[in-house]
Structures are given as C-alpha cells and as structure tokens.
C-alpha cells in the first residue's frame, strides 16, 4: 500500500510556513487572518529588498531606473571626497584658530589662547631655503658655467636628479594633504573658505575671521573701483596709479634732445638697477622675505592680540595697480569714549607691521584704528616703491570712507618714520582729512641716503632717489591746509645726518622749517628763522623754556593776531601775516608757531610712543 508523503501532517505544516509564514501547529484548523496580509506585504516589499540586494529579481528598464540613484550617489560621494582631498593638498597654510568672539557661542573646551594648527616656524624652513636659493641662483649659475657644468653631457644627468627631486616634493605635498584631510579642523576651515569664495555673505566672513591662514587665499573685501564716485569720475586714479608730485629736473634749461637722451641712458639704466635691487631693500628692509619669516611668530601673536583682545577685523583691499593690501580695523565707535568716533589711519615705518607697529599708541588712547601693511610686507603683495605706496594708501582711505563709514573730517593720519610719505600724500590728496601727526619723520630722503652711501656715489644716489625713490614729505605736506603736529625724537639715530647727539642734524627740524616757511613766509623771514633755529637746538624742556621766556612770547597776543588775520583773509595758506610787523613781533610769532607745531619726545627712533604723548594738533 503506497503512502503519499505530500498529504502527511509534516508536509502540510512546511507548506503553510512556506506560503503564509505561519508557524502555528498543523492541527490548527482556524483560518489564518494574517495569510493574505502577509503575502501582500511580502510581494510589495520584494522590489525594495531587491533594490537593496542588487535587484537580483528585476531586469530591463525597471532595474536600471532603480540602480541609478544609489550608484550616482556613491559616485558623487567619491568625487566629493577626492575634491576635498585635492582642496586639502592645494589649500593654504592654516596658522591659528582664534577664540570665539561671542562668549555665548564659545564652547567650554575652547582654550584661553589661540589654537595653533601648524608650527609656522618649523614649517617655513622650506620657504627659507627656497628664498636663499632664489637670490643666490645667479651666482650659482655663474659658478657652474665657469666650471663647465652647463654642458649638454652634464645637464642631462642633472635633469634626472631634478625630476626625482620634484617627484619627492610632490609626494611630500600629497602626504601633507592627506594629513590635512584627516584633520577635522582643517576640513571645516577649507569648507568655510570655499563657501566664502562662492558667496561673500556676512555670515561666511564672520566664520572665516576666526582663522588665521595664508593671506594669499583670503577673498578680496574691497575693490578700488567700488565707490560709485570713482566709476563716474574721470579724474580718479587709473590702473597706472594715482598722481604723484614730479621731481624737478636736475639741470634746468637743458634741451631734451635725442642726443641728450642717449647720453643719459647709461645713467638711467644704472639708477634703475640700483633702485630695484639694493636700494629698495635698504630703504624698506621689512619687504625682505627672510626678515618676514624670522618675524612670523611675533606677527602671528600680534594678529591674535588685535583680533581677540581688541576685536579687530582683517580685510583685503585691491589697489588700482593690482596689489592686495592687508589691513586691520578696530572699531571703538560703540564705546563710551568720545575719541572712539575718530578713526586713526596708521602708516608704519620701513620695517614696521601693523601687527606690532605704531597702531598700539592710538589704540591705548581709545581711538578707532585702521592699520595696513606696505606693499610686499606680510600679507600685502607688490613692492614698496613710492607709486605703489600711494596706490595702497589711496585704497585704504577709500575703504575707510566708503566701507567703514567714516567721514574725512573724522579721519586722522598718524605716521611713524618713513610712513610720513603715505600720510602726507593722503593729506595732499584728501584735503578734508581732520589732522596729520608725523612721528620721527623727515623732509626729504636724499640727505639721509647720502649719509649711508660713499661720497663718490653722490651723483648716482641723488639721481636714483629722485627718479625711483622720491620721498618728498615736506613738499606734499605743504599742500595740506589742515592741522599738523610733528613729534621729534631727541635721541634719534636714524633720521640724523651726523650723530644722535647732534639734535640739529635731525631732519625733523628741516621738515618743520619748510612747513612754517610755506604757511607763514613773512613771519619766517630772517629774524623768525634765526630764533626758531635757536629753539630747535635746545636738547631739553628747560632750555626750550629758557629761550621761550628770553623773547617774552605773549601767547594771548599771538593768538589775537592770528585770529584777526584769519577772520579778515580766510583760512587758506600761505598767510602774509607779519608783513607790517616789527622784528620782535615776528620772533614771538615764529616761536609761538614752532612750539604749537612740534613736540619733543626724549627717546630713540624705535621707542614706542606712549599714549599720553598722542595729542591732537593745535589749530585756531
């Protein structure tokens, strides 16, 4: 007798489990209420499971449509990861991450000092070696040529070594990029930087301001053509640069014929080479790359102090010559101090940077401050020739007026040393500027250049300075009509033409005399000029007071004379006051005016000016 195994209880139970997913006993004869629902659910879920498992049960167009989304997403993710890795390889060097400026947003884990992401001192050795190799390359090529190493038979093996070295450098760069890619702080920074380049929103700039990185990658915040008045006016600066005062010819009346031009050509070529090699670096040592690398840790600390303690805002300005100018703005308009409504634009010396320069003086005095670096200094690009300096100063003033919102009447120009050139240029070009303060500055560069060069080079030095490095501070200052204050260092060792003890060789004296002679030519005649020179020879406040009292200067009388003349003839200089005055009256006026326009500071050239010595110039 045959037995059908398909009708056995065990077979029926397996069939139920297979068809309906029911696990109840085969003895249960109740209809399963979940059976239809389970089958329907399983059939609807089959396409989803098939898509997750690779769509094994689908084929044709339906399968292609389902697999397109996830595959494209994975490809996009891989492409994004590779793009982020490439951005890390080619991205800028990140120096520090500043503390959050808003204490409410600052997490508890934020340290009290800026976070240092890289060690700029140790990581800059390759840049230092490259700089040394760059400047020594002419001598190296000359040596190799004399030794016969530049022949074809020896150059080919050398090219193999060079190619190997380049491959090694490329590998090092890739390893650096991978290290950055694994650093979450750098990935967050590069994401913010790319977003800021795409969209210059206020929020993106706020987030980017928390990082200190290679300034070449900083987005431009202000363009020299941005003010609408510049676009509509034809008299503004062009891409060739702003207007400068042209030096007078060395030989007047000489016919400028073709033959004379040919005769002058060798001298002009020599002057050009001297100015663009040795001269520029001697005049602006702060533009030397090696010096900047040595000062890098100090500059980073100065930036951190300005950003974190003073709430400074860094910005990149694009000048008309294409140079990018690094600036730092500290806004004090929201404080209770009334001087915070005034903006002091600081012009640094030939080795000064706003990070560690003269900006500290007006900051301590409570003013709003805008500092900037010369072209070729730190984050600024270019080279510090007079034309580039004036172009940079022009965009800085435009930035202060049109972006920061200060009126020219609320702007004060403060310059130290060689910064007097850009300050006097701005005062000449923007006559509505409130005041000018020149600290340890000079009248003209030629006497100071002749001081450090051999006497046999006198003609070459004079020609080179006049044609390429003409810093004519006194000439520009005389074009300004507003209040001026000069600060003379009594032990200045830089702008004296003999020794620091010889105070009469200080070129600040000549700046004062030329300034007073232009504004008050009748007062500064023979008698007035002689007595002012005697007053300038005084090396202490006691000697100054002695000379002042010897001539019995009556300040009230001097003020009444000047005010009556101003009321009758107007404020425009030069004045003819003193024309019908006695010699004694001219002496009194000359001493009074000299004492109002010059303050002595008993210090050397590089001593920081205390805040109590930062005073506004005198005016009627």
pLDDT at 282 over 60: yes
> Is there a catalytic annotation at residue 251?
no
pTM beyond cutoff 0.75: yes
User: Which residue from 449, 473, 422 is spatially nearest to 274, judged by alpha carbons?
Assistant: 449
Instruction: Identify whether the C-beta of residue 247 lies closer than 8 Å to the C-beta of residue 466.
Output: yes
Confidence band of 62 (pLDDT split at 50, 70, 90): very low
What percent of the chain shows pLDDT beyond 70? 78
Find the catalytic residue in 540, 569, 576, 582.
Answer: 569
> Is there a catalytic annotation at residue 569?
yes
For position 163, what pLDDT does the model report?
A: 84
Q: What is the full DSSP assignment across 264-297?
A: HHHHHHHHHHHIIIIIHHHH-GGG-HHHHHHHHH
- Please tell me whether residue 313 adopts helix, strand or coil conformation: strand
For position 101, what pLDDT does the model report?
A: 56
Mean pLDDT is highest, among 35-49, 95-109, 138-152, for 138-152
Per-residue pLDDT of 320-335, as tens digits, reads: 999 999 999 999 998 8
Confidence band of 164 (pLDDT split at 50, 70, 90): confident
Residue scoring higher pLDDT (170 or 341): 341
pLDDT at 432 over 50: yes
- Please tell me whether residue 96 adopts helix, strand or coil conformation: strand
Residues 589-618, mean pLDDT to the nearest whole number = 96
Find the catalytic residue in 326, 439, 492, 510.
Answer: 492
Strand-strand pairing, 313-318 and 343-347: unpaired
Confidence band of 111 (pLDDT split at 50, 70, 90): very low
Alpha carbons 411 and 369: distance in angstroms, whole number: 10
Among 127-131, 166-170, 506-510, 511-515, the minimum mean pLDDT is found in 127-131
Find the catalytic residue in 360, 417, 429, 434.
Answer: 417
For position 112, what pLDDT does the model report?
A: 39
Alpha carbons 6 and 13: distance in angstroms, whole number: 10
Beta carbons within 8 Å of 589's beta carbon, 6+ residues apart: 520, 523, 528, 558, 561, 562, 577, 578, 581
DSSP 92: P
> Is there a catalytic annotation at residue 374?
no
Alpha carbons 118 and 442: distance in angstroms, whole number: 41
Token pair belonging to 502: 């010889």
Per-residue pLDDT of 192-230, as tens digits, reads: 999 999 999 999 999 999 999 999 999 999 999 988 655
- Residue owning tokens 């020794």: 499
For position 2, what pLDDT does the model report?
A: 44
Q: What is the full DSSP assignment across 50-73?
A: HHHTT-TT--SHHHHHHHHHHHHH
Confidence band of 249 (pLDDT split at 50, 70, 90): low
Confidence band of 1 (pLDDT split at 50, 70, 90): very low
Among 46-50, 132-136, 514-518, the minimum mean pLDDT is found in 46-50
Mean pLDDT is highest, among 164-168, 231-235, 243-247, 345-349, for 345-349
User: Which residue from 520, 516, 514 is spatially nearest to 577, judged by alpha carbons?
Assistant: 520
Beta carbons within 8 Å of 307's beta carbon, 6+ residues apart: 98, 209, 212, 314
Beta carbons within 8 Å of 174's beta carbon, 6+ residues apart: 89
- Residue owning tokens 């006194």: 474
Instruction: Identify whether the C-beta of residue 100 lies closer than 8 Å to the C-beta of residue 206.
Output: no
For position 356, what pLDDT does the model report?
A: 94
Among 7-21, 76-90, 513-527, the minimum mean pLDDT is found in 7-21
Confidence band of 336 (pLDDT split at 50, 70, 90): confident
For position 74, what pLDDT does the model report?
A: 82
For position 15, what pLDDT does the model report?
A: 52
Burial pattern 335-346, b for ≥16 Cβ within 10 A else e, equals: eeeebbebbbbb
Instruction: Identify whether the C-beta of residue 181 lies closer than 8 Å to the C-beta of residue 187.
Output: yes
User: Which residue from 5, 215, 199, 198 is spatially nearest to 92, judged by alpha carbons?
Assistant: 215
> At CB < 8 A and 24+ separation, what contacts does 295-298 make?
295/353, 295/356, 296/120, 296/121, 296/124, 297/120, 297/121, 298/355, 298/356
Q: In Å, how far from its chain's centre is CA 603?
A: 28
């Amino acid at each position: 007798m045959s037995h059908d195994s398909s009708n056995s209880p065990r077979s029926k139970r397996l069939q139920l489990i297979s068809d309906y997913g029911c696990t109840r006993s085969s003895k249960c004869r109740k209809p399963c209420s979940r059976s239809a629902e389970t089958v329907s659910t399983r059939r609807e879920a089959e396409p989803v499971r098939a898509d997750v498992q690779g769509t094994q049960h689908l084929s044709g167009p339906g399968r292609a449509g389902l697999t397109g989304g996830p595959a494209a997403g994975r490809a996009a993710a891989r492409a994004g990861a590779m793009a982020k890795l490439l951005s890390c390889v080619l991205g800028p060097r990140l120096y520090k991450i500043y503390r959050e400026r808003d204490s409410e947003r600052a997490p508890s884990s934020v340290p009290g000092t800026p976070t240092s992401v890289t060690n700029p001192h140790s990581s800059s050795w390759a840049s230092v070696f490259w700089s040394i190799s760059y400047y020594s390359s002419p001598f190296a090529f000359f040596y190799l040529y004399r030794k016969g190493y530049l022949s074809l038979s020896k150059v080919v093996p050398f090219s193999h070594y060079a190619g190997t070295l380049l491959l090694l450098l490329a590998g090092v760069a890739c390893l650096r990029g991978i290290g950055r890619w694994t650093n979450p702080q750098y990935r967050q920074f590069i994401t913010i930087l790319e977003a800021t380049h795409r969209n210059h929103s206020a929020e993106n700039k706020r987030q980017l301001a928390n990082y200190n990185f290679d300034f070449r990658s900083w987005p431009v915040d202000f363009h020299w053509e941005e003010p609408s008045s510049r676009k509509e006016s034809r008299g503004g600066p062009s891409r060739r640069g702003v207007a400068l005062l042209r030096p007078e010819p060395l030989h007047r009346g000489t016919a400028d014929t073709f033959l004379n031009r040919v005769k002058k050509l060798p001298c002009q070529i020599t002057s050009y080479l001297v100015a663009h090699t040795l001269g520029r670096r001697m005049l602006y040592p702060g533009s030397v790359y090696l010096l900047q690398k040595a000062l890098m840790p100090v500059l980073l600390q100065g930036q951190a102090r300005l950003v974190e303690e003073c709430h400074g805002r860094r910005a990149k300005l694009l000048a008309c010559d294409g140079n990018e100018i690094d600036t730092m703005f500290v806004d004090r308009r929201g404080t209770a101090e009334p001087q915070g409504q005034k903006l002091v634009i600081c012009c640094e010396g030939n080795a000064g940077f706003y990070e560690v320069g003269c900006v500290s003086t007006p900051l301590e005095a409570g003013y709003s401050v805008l500092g900037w670096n010369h072209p070729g200094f730190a984050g600024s690009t270019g080279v510090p020739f007079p034309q580039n300096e004036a172009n940079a100063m022009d965009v800085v003033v435009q930035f202060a007026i049109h972006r920061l919102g200060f009126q020219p009447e609320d702007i004060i120009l403060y310059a130290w040393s060689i910064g007097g050139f850009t300050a006097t240029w701005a005062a000449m070009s923007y006559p509505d500027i409130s005041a000018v303060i020149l600290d340890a500055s000079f009248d003209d560069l030629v006497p100071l250049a002749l001081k450090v060069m051999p006497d046999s080079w006198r003609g070459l030095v004079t020609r080179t300075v006049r044609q390429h490095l003409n810093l004519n501070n006194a000439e520009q200052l005389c074009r300004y009509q507003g209040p001026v204050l000069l600060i003379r260092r009594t032990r200045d060792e830089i702008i004296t033409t003999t020794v620091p003890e010889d105070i009469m060789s200080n070129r600040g004296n000549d700046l004062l005399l030329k300034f007073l002679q232009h504004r008050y030519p009748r007062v500064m005649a023979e008698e007035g000029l002689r007595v002012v020179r005697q007053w300038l020879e005084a090396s202490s406040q006691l000697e100054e007071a002695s000379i002042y009292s010897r001539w019995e200067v009556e300040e009230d009388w001097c003020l009444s004379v000047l005010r009556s003349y101003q009321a009758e003839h107007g404020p425009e200089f030069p004045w003819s006051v003193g024309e019908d005055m006695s010699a004694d009256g001219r002496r009194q006026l000359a001493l009074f005016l000299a004492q109002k326009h010059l303050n002595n500071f008993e210090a050397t050239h590089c001593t920081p000016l205390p805040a109590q010595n930062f005073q506004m110039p005198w005016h009627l």
